[in-house]
Amino acid sequence: MRAPFVSLLFILLAALVPAAISQTNVSVTYNYAPLSYPGAPVTNVNGINNSNVIVGSYYDSQYFVHGFIYRAGKYTAVNFPGATMTEVLGINDYSDIVGTYQMPGTLNFHGFLRHNGVFTKINDPSAKIGTMAFGINKAGTIVGTFDNEQGFVYQNGAYRTLNAPQLSGEPHQTQLNGINNLGAIVGQVFTNGIWRGFWITNNQIHYVEAPGSVDSQANGINGHGDVVGCHDVQAGFASFLATQNAGKFPAEQSLVSCAAAINYARAAVGTYSTLSKSYGFLAVPELTLQVSRVTQTSQLGTVVHVTAAASGINPVAKTQVWLNGKEIYQVAGQTLSTNVTLPAGSSDRLVVQAIDSKGVIAKVVNTIAVN
């Protein structure tokens, strides 16, 4: 006779125990600097490693294409021996570089790896037209595309084809653009009439946007799980901590133009164009804000515990919490921890922002629905 009473008591107590939902967001305010190979009319920037060494390609005065490495303020040209065209597309933390090159004669292209100054050809055995190597991580795993149709992974001397899902009957159209030191891969697939950017972790694919949205591509990923890419040449984005929010389409922060890569310090690189010239860019974090919130909802109400930490080039002057357009909490300095009570039956706009000594602002905005 006691069992029903215990079950009922458990149910009543469970209703009073808060259900906790946690989420972490990052916002970065960037300082941009142009990158241009000396004398080149066109410069494309394609990669950056965790030592801030940058790689890309440039056109010379006769519009022949060469690769380059930019290290500590100095540009160095890279040319595959005997090639008519060389592009450097990726770099790892050992400064191994990968890319593509063309030889004289019939149109063809090949991938390459340069390790300790020695070039090695990267040619997927399934390729009929050619291979392009786009990314390499610290373990030496290389990702790229062959025949402009299918993705490949080159690991421990073996090639493996890796394509994203498509609709039945669609021709292969997958490109793998980058890989981080944890083995997460980014790329894009053409399906149902649009390009969809994605990342792959633990053999599971996740998309940066919902199906039927605008075109997107995911070009780079770092050790935090931040993903960068673009919707077109001018609409770049960064999705910070994207891989930590699997199952959701991550928030996107706009960048000045299409981003190609991002390193662990969250420095991002890419390319932008004016009417007269194409440049690379380096985006350096000026102020970074990370906000974690734990939302607890029970019959007694909803409480959000907010913690925040900011850092940047200049000292952080203050950190604030705003609720529905009104400032409700402020502390001097770069860290904050407080509780925010939300009214029932509302949809609330919660903003946490940091302001540095020069007036630079980084903010995280969340909309929280309270039943």
Residue after which a domain boundary falls, among 234, 269, 285: 285
Same structural domain, 245 and 187:
yes
Helix (H) or strand (E) holding 7: helix 2-16
The band of 343, judged by pLDDT with boundaries at 50, 70 and 90, is confident
| Whole-number pLDDT of residue 107 | 67
User: What one-character-per-residue DSSP string does 232-247 give?
Assistant: STT-EEEETTGGGGTT
The CATH number of whichever domain residue 153 belongs to comes to 2.120.10.30
Same structural domain, 100 and 164:
yes
Same structural domain, 208 and 180:
yes
Q: In the chain, how many domains are there?
A: 2
Instruction: Take residue 244 and report the two structure tokens written for it.
Output: 């930590």
| Whole-number pLDDT of residue 248 | 74
pLDDT exceeds 50 at position 16: no
Q: What tens digit of pLDDT does each residue of 32-62 get?
A: 999 999 999 999 999 999 999 999 999 999 9
Q: 285: closest CA among 352, 202, 205, 354?
A: 354
Average pLDDT over residues 74-99: 97
- pTM of the predicted model as reported, rounded to 2 decimal places: 0.91
Per-range mean pLDDT, top range of 14-23, 229-238, 298-307, 355-364: 355-364
Residue 13 lies in a domain: no
Residue 8 lies in a domain: no
Residue-range definition of the domain harbouring residue 359: 18-26+290-370
**Alpha carbon 108 to chain centroid distance?**
30
The DSSP bridge partners found for residue 370 are 346
| Whole-number pLDDT of residue 18 | 52
Residue 11 lies in a domain: no
The band of 1, judged by pLDDT with boundaries at 50, 70 and 90, is very low
Residue after which a domain boundary falls, among 251, 285, 319: 285
How many percent of the chain have pLDDT more than 90?
Answer: 79
Average pLDDT over residues 253-282: 93
Same structural domain, 251 and 315:
no
The band of 129, judged by pLDDT with boundaries at 50, 70 and 90, is very high
pLDDT exceeds 90 at position 105: no
| Whole-number pLDDT of residue 371 | 64
Same structural domain, 276 and 304:
no
Same structural domain, 223 and 267:
yes
CA distance 106 to 109: 10
Please tell me what DSSP assigns to residue 251: P
Lowest average pLDDT, out of 16-25, 111-120, 155-164, 295-304, goes to: 16-25
Average pLDDT over residues 79-103: 97
Tell which wins on pLDDT, 252 or 233: 252
Average pLDDT over residues 207-223: 92
pLDDT exceeds 60 at position 77: yes
Helix (H, G, I), strand (E, B) or coil at 37: coil
**Contact status, residue 112 vs residue 98, Cβ threshold 8 Å:** yes
User: What one-character-per-residue DSSP string does 131-200 give?
Assistant: EEEEEE-TT--EEEEETTTEEEEEETTEEEE------TTPPP-EEEEEE-TT--EEEEEEETTEEEEEEE
Q: 171: closest CA among 156, 197, 189, 157?
A: 189
Average pLDDT over residues 320-329: 96
The CATH number of whichever domain residue 353 belongs to comes to 2.60.40.10
Residue 219 lies in a domain: yes
Residue after which a domain boundary falls, among 255, 285, 315: 285
CA distance 353 to 364: 6
Burial class of residue 360 (count of CB atoms within 10 Å of its CB; 0-12, 13-18, 19+): middle
- Whole-Å CA distances, 317 to 306, 332, 339, 358: 19, 6, 21, 9
Same structural domain, 248 and 315:
no
CA distance 180 to 186: 9
CA distance 142 to 60: 28
Residue 365 lies in a domain: yes
Lowest average pLDDT, out of 211-220, 251-260, 355-364, goes to: 211-220
Same structural domain, 261 and 308:
no
**Contact status, residue 344 vs residue 301, Cβ threshold 8 Å:** yes
CB-side exposure of 179: number of CA atoms within 13 Å? 26
| Mean of all residue pLDDT scores within the chain | 91
Same structural domain, 184 and 70:
yes
Same structural domain, 214 and 184:
yes
Residue 5 lies in a domain: no
pLDDT exceeds 50 at position 12: no
**Contact status, residue 245 vs residue 272, Cβ threshold 8 Å:** no
Query: Do you know the residue count of the chain?
Result: 371
CA distance 65 to 90: 16
Same structural domain, 361 and 223:
no
Same structural domain, 63 and 132:
yes
| Whole-number pLDDT of residue 7 | 39
Neighbours of 155 (CB within 10 A): 16
| Whole-number pLDDT of residue 3 | 39
Please tell me what DSSP assigns to residue 12: H
Torsion, CA 81, CA 157, CA 159, CA 128, rounded to 10: 30
Q: What share of the chain is helix, strand, coil (3-state, %, to 5)?
A: 5, 60, 35
Instruction: Take residue 21 and report the two structure tokens written for it.
Output: 């939902």
CA distance 152 to 163: 8
Biggest alpha carbon–alpha carbon distance for the chain: 92
Residue 2 lies in a domain: no
Residue 4 lies in a domain: no
